Amino acid sequence: MTDRIAALPGAAGFAVLDQALWNQLRTAENAEAFSVAWLALQCRLIEGATGGVVVLGEPEVGPFAPAAVWPDENVTRPELTNAAEQAIKQRQGIVASHASGAGRCFAVPLMIDERLHGVCAIVVSNSTLPAQLVMRQLQWGAAWIELLLIRKENTSQAEQRERTGTALDLLATLLEHGRLEEAATAFVTEFALRLQCDPVSIGFVRRERCRVFAISHSAAFGNRMDLIQDIGAAMDEAVDQKAIVLYPPNEEWEYRVTRAHADLAVAHKTGAILTIPLQAGGEIIGAVTLERLRGCGFDEATVDLCDAVAAVVGPVFAEKRANDRLLIVKAAESIATQTRRLFGPDYFGRKLAIVLSVVLVGIFSVVKSDYAVTSPAIVEGRIQRTLVAPFNGYLGAEYVRAGAIVHASQLLATLDDQDLSLERLRWSTTRRQRLTEYDRALAKGERAEANIARSQVDQADAQLALLDEQLARTKITAPFDGVVVSGDLSQKIGGSVERGQELFKIAPLNAYRVVLEIHESDIQYVREGQGGTLLLASLPDLALRYQIERITPTAEQAEGRNFFRAEALVDGANERLRPSMAGIAKTDIDRRLLIRIWTDKLVDWVRLAIWRWLP
């Protein structure tokens, strides 16, 4: 046609060409045909235009490819390609000089709602028009393509809304019924009414074959076995290919086997058949077959609608089918499914987890370990001697403090003896006086006076002996070699002390015991004579063995816990030990399964919790 128009003379040829382009623009069925006509008109309207290109693609994501090229649709000029790429990158109109310097390139991006749909670009050479006017003309012309894209997008959205609405209506019809059979019959009947099909059938995969479950407008179809078998074969054909099957086939689609569909159409005088697989969880669970009379086919919009409906109702049918079975069937199928997954391909993580679980169960059923009761412990001297004030008085001096190593008879502290010394001096003087009186009475032969004087001398001797003893007791000495466990009198020098007041506590260096605080939940396992190992916080490298000697029969409470006090003897002596050292003791009980050692306390806690909340 273009060749015939070009053969017309002068203005007549151009007028006919313009009219032909306008007609092509008006009757274009798609964006590509519209772009070809528009680009040709645009280049004719702009003075000096020697070439142009329209690039379209998926909004924002692309890829963008030429939809129209002028004048030669098979040749895209490099300068146009560069200009179009810059406009896409910068998302704004650009003017670029021609590489040869003989013209300029103009490019305008096609933006709709700030989304890039493509670009149009032209090359202008030997034009007297200013660049601003050329760019404006190109922008005005680009609005035509933008309007076409908007209409196309609105049409697509309207079709999508219609598909969504139909799918939701059919889904609502499906959900209105609780039983699978009632829901399937209502669904195919409503589907048939909406799409003017007769009949619409639905089937589900069972034992690797698709079996017809419901047919529109039919509550029972036992006397139509030939039809049921043919429909089931058509469903199997679509399920086996995992694709939509249309008969007669669409020439633009990929090749699909339609033999069963053709047999169904011939046997039952059907014009068009469409079968769509139903999917749920990535697996095909069945299919829907739609049939129409001759002369009524399925267009692309109808196929898309049916595909959308199948995608929505597939999971619902799968759930209803699963819930509509007997409990024993559900259990059997679940066991069979898990067995297939366990011994079949894939599901490596599950297989590994099961193998590990079996290994762990086997290990925990056999492996035993030493069970020990853990408890806080503190070291004490096996013998502890308390040194107290012998009488009321005042502290004179202090020579040791808590923690000091002392030897037997070592002076630890002294009490003030000034009053006692004065008292002794007074009694010593009194004794000499009474002794002089005694001698005088004897000389005079006064026997009665002599006896009285003698008694007074004896009294003075007794007082002096008492004072000497008290003076000796003002010196506080160590009763044996040991360590001062407690006692710091450095802040009490000169202060008063009362008779019986504790001054020091001393423990021997070579005899210790361990005091264990055994939790009340563990006391049932501990017996006298059992041994264990002690690690002290200050001596973590030294493991001390001990043997329980005595367990107190009553519980004590401290720091929010109940415990029983047990006393144990340390095997052997170690010069590094000191009283009041604290650590952790583990009392050996017996050998038992490792899993029991780890879970005993948890099981006991659960038992108590259940008992607490039981009515």
Each residue's pLDDT tens digit, 183-200:
888 888 888 888 888 888
Most confident of 275-289, 346-360, 418-432: 275-289
pLDDT of residue 6 exceeding 60, the answer is no
pLDDT of residue 168: 78
pLDDT of residue 5: 36
Using alpha carbons, select from 169, 205, 208, 164 the residue that is nearest to residue 190.
Answer: 169
For residue 127, what pLDDT band results from cuts at 50, 70 and 90?
Answer: confident
pLDDT of residue 3: 43
Q: What is the mean pLDDT of residues 425-430?
A: 87
Please tell me the distance from the alpha carbon of residue 540 to that of residue 299, in angstroms, as a whole number: 85
Tell me the C-alpha to C-alpha distance, in Å, between residue 251 and each of 132, 244, 247, 269, 478. 48, 14, 11, 22, 116
Whether 247 contacts 272, CB under 8 Å: yes
Is residue 378 in some structural domain?
Answer: no
Based on the fold, state whether residues 606 and 522 are members of the same structural domain. yes
Q: How many domains does the chain have?
A: 4
pLDDT of residue 223: 52
pLDDT of residue 498: 87
pLDDT of residue 235: 92
pLDDT of residue 550 exceeding 50, the answer is yes
Is residue 13 in some structural domain?
Answer: yes
pLDDT of residue 221: 61
pLDDT, tens only, 456-469? 888 888 888 888 88
Please tell me the distance from the alpha carbon of residue 453 to that of residue 431, in angstroms, as a whole number: 10
Instruction: Look up the domain containing 228 and give its range.
Output: 176-324
pLDDT, tens only, 187-235? 888 888 888 888 889 999 988 888 898 888 776 665 567 788 888 999 9
Which is more confident, 482 or 427? Answer: 427
Is residue 374 in some structural domain?
Answer: no
Based on the fold, state whether residues 500 and 516 are members of the same structural domain. no
Domain stop point among 155, 190, 217: 155
Is residue 371 in some structural domain?
Answer: no
pLDDT, tens only, 504-541? 888 787 778 899 999 998 999 999 999 999 999 988 88
Based on the fold, state whether residues 287 and 208 are members of the same structural domain. yes
Is residue 473 in some structural domain?
Answer: yes
pLDDT of residue 23 exceeding 50, the answer is yes
Most confident of 8-17, 138-147, 561-570: 561-570
Q: Considering the entire predicted model, what is its pTM?
A: 0.45
Both structure tokens of 375: 């408890």
Please tell me the distance from the alpha carbon of residue 337 to that of residue 508, in angstroms, as a whole number: 75
pLDDT of residue 295 exceeding 60, the answer is yes
Based on the fold, state whether residues 217 and 270 are members of the same structural domain. yes
Based on the fold, state whether residues 123 and 138 are members of the same structural domain. yes
Which is more confident, 590 or 33? Answer: 590
Please tell me the distance from the alpha carbon of residue 98 to that of residue 50, in angstroms, as a whole number: 12
pLDDT of residue 250: 82
For residue 585, what pLDDT band results from cuts at 50, 70 and 90?
Answer: very high
Based on the fold, state whether residues 485 and 521 are members of the same structural domain. no
CATH code where residue 530 lies: 2.40.30.170
Most confident of 152-161, 324-333, 369-378, 432-441: 369-378
Domain stop point among 284, 302, 324: 324
pLDDT of residue 376 exceeding 90, the answer is yes
Please tell me the distance from the alpha carbon of residue 275 to that of residue 285, in angstroms, as a whole number: 13
Q: What is the mean pLDDT of residues 338-347?
A: 81
Is residue 584 in some structural domain?
Answer: yes
CATH code where residue 121 lies: 3.30.450.40
The average confidence (pLDDT) of the chain is 83
My answer on whether omega of the bond before 249 falls inside 30° of 0, hence cis, is no
Is residue 405 in some structural domain?
Answer: yes
pLDDT of residue 177 exceeding 60, the answer is yes
pLDDT of residue 373: 92
pLDDT of residue 100: 60
Q: Which residue has the tokens 């020579």?
A: 399
pLDDT of residue 208: 83
Is residue 459 in some structural domain?
Answer: yes
pLDDT, tens only, 258-281? 899 888 888 888 889 999 999 988
Domain stop point among 504, 526, 546: 504
Using alpha carbons, select from 249, 167, 242 the residue that is nearest to residue 205.
Answer: 242
Most confident of 59-63, 300-304, 355-359: 355-359
Which is more confident, 78 or 20? Answer: 78
Based on the fold, state whether residues 555 and 464 are members of the same structural domain. no
Using alpha carbons, select from 503, 507, 505 the residue that is nearest to residue 391.
Answer: 503
Residue 294, Ramachandran bin (φ over 0: left; ψ between -120 and 50: alpha; else beta): beta
pLDDT of residue 2 exceeding 70, the answer is no
Based on the fold, state whether residues 92 and 29 are members of the same structural domain. yes
pLDDT of residue 374: 92
pLDDT of residue 444: 82
Please tell me the distance from the alpha carbon of residue 353 to that of residue 361, in angstroms, as a whole number: 12
Residue percentage of the chain with pLDDT more than 70: 93
Based on the fold, state whether residues 120 and 180 are members of the same structural domain. no
Based on the fold, state whether residues 414 and 316 are members of the same structural domain. no
pLDDT of residue 182 exceeding 70, the answer is yes
pLDDT of residue 323: 82
Phi/psi of residue 234, nearest 5 degrees? -65, -40
Please tell me the distance from the alpha carbon of residue 513 to that of residue 155, in angstroms, as a whole number: 94
Whether 463 contacts 427, CB under 8 Å: yes
Which is more confident, 291 or 580? Answer: 291
Both structure tokens of 591: 């050998």
- Residues, the chain: 615
Based on the fold, state whether residues 6 and 151 are members of the same structural domain. yes
Based on the fold, state whether residues 151 and 216 are members of the same structural domain. no
